[in-house]
Chains A and B, each alone.
Chain A
Amino acid sequence: MIHAKDIHENSPWTKMTQGGEIYEPATSLLFNTGDWRTQTPVFLEKKCKQCLLCVPYCPDSAIPVKDGKRGEFDLMHCKGCGICITACPFDAIVWKEDA
């Protein structure tokens, strides 16, 4: 069995899975896809009421929740789509100014 973590840009073709199949879950955690982002959201914790509406709206599961409260964005996976900014009823998420 060849695992995703063992496949990299120097892997020979004989050490890769047939058809690029991936035999385990959550391998996206290994990849920094946050660098696709051109704009970055900023979490304003003081304005946040912890309604958690932003969490299910995020298409990339980039808003971690712990003990019933959301935390800082997972910027390794956030694509900067801004859906959370629209979804937030309390203006607790804004675009980063210099991004």
Chain B
Amino acid sequence: MAHLDRLSGNEAVAVAMRQIDPDVMGAFPITPSTEIPQYFAQYVADGLVNTELVTVESEHSSMSVCMGAAAAGGRAISATSSAGLALMYETLYVAASCRMPIVLAVSTRALSGPININNDHSDAMGARDSGWIQIYAENNQEVYDNYVQAFPIAETENVRLPVMICQDGFITSHAVENIELLEDAEVKSFVGTYEPKHYLLNPDEPLAVGPYDVTHYYMEHKRQQAEAMRNARAAILAQAERFEALTGRKYGFFEAYKMDDAELALVLMGSTAGTAKAAVDMLRAEGRKVGLVKIRVFRPFPMEELAEALKNCRAVAVMDKSEGFSACGGPLFAETRSALYDLETRPKAINIVYGLGGRDVAVDDVRALYDRLADIAATGETGPVYSHIGVREEA
């Protein structure tokens, strides 16, 4: 039986961790994810979990602790943000290439510089090519639900990849919301017992993990990783199906909100979806055919499914909460426009960079974007493809 509670997004993640009771946590604090190891350390101190909490001197070390634990055959977790994720950069790639099903909670935050501790997606986007599965949440309920599904996805035999469970730093990590929690036994049963096929603590099978990979072998192992990421698609949907059977809450690669007859659509990730849905509801009440696609799974990227969802639109705005500095748009735009390319007739597409370093986005800002999309649809003129909103311009 589920029960209601009111929790911050960080606490929701910590509760999911407690319910899973993993073997090892590599812990190093950084704003705005600090509360996660803080809450979890209390659970350890109170004897509510059997987890070995390893406090370390840096995030490079916390991820290294996770890798050691995963190689040994344990379930390993960590949490981080921003510069902490950047300091893990090297080890993220090693965890993925060693095929370790580690779960990392990321409360996303801007990367310095200029130095800033508030929310955007530049940290997680910097890790997008590291070989980790990336799942994003709109609100506290979703980050909890995503976290519960993470280990079964990561540990799927033909996947064996680490998973990043991302939420928007401060916006959801520190906002307290009502949330429906599963019972501990339900989570434990959903996640199951981890039984790795190969692990270092098995005395019957001497094992070498992460050996040097010369030119003759490296590319084959990268090809295996690519296949595992493709396999993750089915694993993500399979776990979503199990989760829906348990909770009634439905998840997929993305949420298509009022998209059935939508002519104008936004594509975005994270908490801004809540704001954008309010704008969609207002515009729908005025009879306008607008919709929204909220990307949940960014890695693997749901290319065909997204193209299918957008194929009947006349104009699409892709909203990036990070600057890719490609000088022609952010990373979500690059993926989305690439997805649209395979359509016979495709919508006009523009990119909006927004919300950097905690810059707020209001319902009216989103309404204005739909107005701009309406102009594009009406005139057939795309105008500037790549632009920023919420930034001060000269009067």
Contacts of B213 in A (CB 8 A): 20
Indicate whether A24 reaches chain B with its CB closer than 8 angstroms: yes
Kindly identify, within residues 185 to 232 of chain B, every residue whose CB is under 8 Å from any CB belonging to chain A. 198, 205-211, 213, 216-217, 219-221, 223-224, 227-228
Contacts A24-B206, A25-B206, A27-B208: A19 and B220 contacting too (C-beta < 8 A)?
no
| Cα A22 to Cα B217 with chains together (Å) | 13
B198 to chain A, nearest CB (A): 6
Is B97 among interface residues, defined by CB-CB distance under 8 A?
yes
Least distance between B45 CB and chain A CB atoms (Å): 35
Contact between A13 and B223, CB atoms less than 8 A apart: yes
**C-alpha spacing A12/B211, complex, angstroms:** 18
Residues of A within 8 A of B (CB): 7, 9, 11-13, 16, 18-25, 27
In whole angstroms, what is the CA distance A50 to B206 when docked? 32
Pair B211/A22 contact, Cβ less than 8 Å? yes
A23 surroundings in chain B (CB, below 8 A): 198, 205-207
Which of B97, B207, B208 has the most chain A CB atoms inside 10 A of its CB?
B208
Can you report 19 residue pairs joining A to B where beta carbons are below 8 Å apart? Answer: A11-B220, A13-B219, A13-B220, A13-B223, A16-B220, A18-B99, A18-B160, A19-B99, A19-B160, A19-B210, A19-B221, A20-B213, A21-B198, A21-B207, A22-B208, A23-B198, A23-B207, A24-B205, A25-B206
Q: Report the minimal beta-carbon distance from A38 to chain B, rounded to whole angstroms.
A: 20
Q: Distance (Å) between the CB of A14 and the closest chain B CB? A: 8
Report A33 CB to chain B, min CB distance, Å.
11
Most buried by B among A18, A19, A25: A19
Shortest CB distance A16–B (Å): 5
Are B224 and A13 touching (Cβ within 8 A)? yes
Contacting pair A20 B205 (CB below 8 A): no
Cross-chain contact A20 with B221 (CB below 8 angstroms): yes
- In the complex, which residue of chain A has the Cβ closest to the Cβ of B215? A9
Please measure, in the bound complex, the distance between the C-alpha atom of A23 and the C-alpha atom of B216, giving whole angstroms: 20
B98 near A: Cβ within 8 Å? yes
A19 to B98, CA, bound (A): 5
